[in-house]
Chains A and B, each alone.
Chain A
């Protein structure tokens, strides 16, 4: 019987420093053994292990359309993420996954999609965006609202520049407070969401810090999005990722196996979800 607690090995292929303060780094991992390669969909996550330092869950930032790598963006904030930041290209790490459910990309087919993200939580949203751009003709209008505290804290800045050039994608970038030289939007994500005249017949995916999600979802309702067409991804403490350690339990759900992706309709039935 396969032991789902045993990670397989991946090699750090490339490291990108995302922010000048070096708190955000992205790691491209390549498979050491081809047999370990797995299929996944945007929104799923993995448990990322470093020998002797522990294991933490991270959303997969790469898209299934990007061959042979897995991408993770990690904010340096605790003991495991600190160790991840010390990694060098060529180092070996442990991965368990794919875990959890995914954004309902099948339901999105032929439909307009709005993506709303905040800060370094844009990871699985990148996966979703790159996936939809990779199957561009399957989807209608794609609109992105992406906010960060300041211009330095956007992740995937080079790709954002590429996305801005595209005419098949509308991108609204916003920062919390005005900064000299910033000529895009200013204001918190919920406020900007209200201002950019989104089409409530679209499907909508929201991911960001807990506080951002909490204040953005009601705004979407106000605009007229039905609960069942709004999706978000929840963050919780997790140890196992397979519904056993108990920590991510909310109501009668486990975020790791019943989520992390939930519709607003489902979330409203779980008292402590937001």
Chain B
């Protein structure tokens, strides 16, 4: 893999290089939080040293919250023609890149989801390492370091960034930006790099012990604490909306007033919602909130391994800061571990 250097004095020139490849998007403050937003001016492209947790993860670019999947008319069902812009997403943390790798696997295994793929091809990922905040626990989910899934990846080493090139697109970017990306990476940067890694490793403070939870999910399937969580849960579904690997969707048809034309809409759904498993004849396979919580945690911590070889929690901490009643990976694991 190629590694280059970008000097901090050239940092402001990065925007113009990236902007040649597409719209530049990056985390920007919104209230007390952050959101991925379009960056219109190069001054607005800010690099953060500490982990930035956007309200919604990058899945919002790949599986829109609500979109038309088919146009309906009496003679045919057609895929709507939409112009999907190429987006260069800057500042994506390693755990989110892991989530992206999981989504890639999920959407291309068995059947390929065209809607995901056509958006995936239009996304360029500029990853960035940062120091953990008090909620990040990606060191416990093996997602704090990333080796694939990005086009470029930045590590801030003081006066300069080390830049990993992870794809052909990434290679195109550094070629076009050859005046700011330097091939001169002397061996001694390794010292800075090792020191940074060590500093970062020690900076993690959220130690959720996930060892053995896969088996515990099985052993504790009928434990009472699920009902206690069920009592508290509001079924608001926020945990699933903010989770970078939650993918469930609902599909409905809507007709125009002429009743001959319409569209099929697909939008984010949540397994926390009561009608999630409701079938014809009003039979509900998951009537209670406790059953629905169990489904989510089984899926995240255990079942996903059966399908794709790894758990689907990437340790981003969004459920911890989002759930209004403190049902999250941390409190569930605490109960699992007794």
Interface check B250, CB cutoff 8 A = yes
Bound: A247/B251 CA distance, A: 11
Q: Residues of A within 8 Å of B, CB-based: how many?
A: 41
A6-B70, A252-B305 as given contacts; A54 in contact with B252, CB under 8 Å: yes
A244-B111, A245-B248 as given contacts; A75 in contact with B281, CB under 8 Å: yes
Interface check B184, CB cutoff 8 A = no
* Nearest-neighbor residue (CB-CB) of B74 within chain A: A51
Q: Is the CB of A244 within 8 A of B249?
A: yes
Which residue of A5, A54, A55, A210 has the most chain B CB atoms within 10 A of its CB atom? A5
A52-B254, A210-B283, A237-B276 as given contacts; A5 in contact with B249, CB under 8 Å: no
Q: Choose among A4, A6, A53, A236 the residue that contacts B253 (Cβ–Cβ < 8 A).
A: A53
A54-B253, A239-B250 as given contacts; A5 in contact with B259, CB under 8 Å: no
B163 to chain A, nearest CB (A): 33
Interface check B133, CB cutoff 8 A = no
A78-B280, A249-B295 as given contacts; A51 in contact with B262, CB under 8 Å: yes
Interface check B107, CB cutoff 8 A = yes
Q: For window 18-36 of chain A, which residues contact chain B by CB distance below 8 Å?
A: none
Q: Is the CB of B277 within 8 A of A236?
A: yes
Q: Is the CB of B271 within 8 A of A236?
A: no
Q: Is the CB of A243 within 8 A of B77?
A: no
Which residue of A50, A77, A246 has the most chain B CB atoms within 10 A of its CB atom? A246
Bound: A81/B280 CA distance, A: 9
Q: Choose among A5, A56, A251 the residue that contacts B70 (Cβ–Cβ < 8 A).
A: A5
Q: Is the CB of B251 within 8 A of A240?
A: yes
Bound: A78/B254 CA distance, A: 16
Interface check B195, CB cutoff 8 A = no
Q: Choose among A1, A240, A249 the residue that contacts B117 (Cβ–Cβ < 8 A).
A: A1
Q: Is the CB of A55 within 8 A of B253?
A: yes
Interface check A171, CB cutoff 8 A = no
Bound: A1/B264 CA distance, A: 20
For chain B, the bracket of interface size reads 35 or more
Q: For window 83-134 of chain A, which residues contact chain B by CB distance below 8 Å?
A: 92, 94
Q: Choose among A209, A246, A249, A272 the residue that contacts B269 (Cβ–Cβ < 8 A).
A: A246
Q: Is the CB of A52 within 8 A of B253?
A: yes
A17 to chain B, nearest CB (A): 19
Q: Is the CB of A242 within 8 A of B248?
A: no
Bound: A239/B112 CA distance, A: 15
Q: Is the CB of B114 within 8 A of A5?
A: yes
Q: Is the CB of A237 within 8 A of B279?
A: yes
Q: Is the CB of B107 within 8 A of A244?
A: yes
- Among B89-97, B134-142, B168-176, B296-304, the stretch that binds chain A is B296-304
Q: Choose among B69, B254, B298 the residue that contacts A251 (Cβ–Cβ < 8 A).
A: B298
Q: Which residues of B contact A7 (CB under 8 A)?
A: 77
Interface check A185, CB cutoff 8 A = no
A9-B76, A75-B281, A239-B249 as given contacts; A251 in contact with B259, CB under 8 Å: no
Interface check B306, CB cutoff 8 A = yes
Q: Which residues of B contact A92 (CB under 8 A)?
A: 74
Interface check B84, CB cutoff 8 A = no
Q: Choose among A5, A49, A210, A249 the residue that contacts B303 (Cβ–Cβ < 8 A).
A: A249
Interface check B113, CB cutoff 8 A = yes
B240 to chain A, nearest CB (A): 10
B239 to chain A, nearest CB (A): 14
A75-B280, A272-B291 as given contacts; A243 in contact with B72, CB under 8 Å: no
* Nearest-neighbor residue (CB-CB) of B298 within chain A: A251
Q: Choose among A5, A56, A236 the residue that contacts B285 (Cβ–Cβ < 8 A).
A: A236
Chain B positions within 8 Å of A, measured between CB atoms, are 69-70, 72-74, 76-79, 106-107, 109-115, 117, 218, 221, 247-255, 259, 262, 264, 269, 271, 276-281, 283, 285-286, 291, 294-295, 298-299, 302-307
Sorted from nearest, which 7 A-B pairs have the closest CB atoms?
Answer: A252-B306, A246-B248, A52-B255, A242-B111, A252-B303, A52-B262, A77-B280
5 extra A-B contacts, CB within 8 A, seeds A239-B249, A244-B111, A257-B111: A3-B79, A209-B283, A243-B109, A244-B247, A272-B294
Can you pick out 13 interface pairs between chain A and chain B where the beta carbons lie within 8 Å of each other?
A6-B77, A50-B253, A51-B255, A55-B264, A92-B74, A209-B281, A210-B283, A242-B110, A242-B113, A243-B110, A246-B248, A257-B110, A272-B295
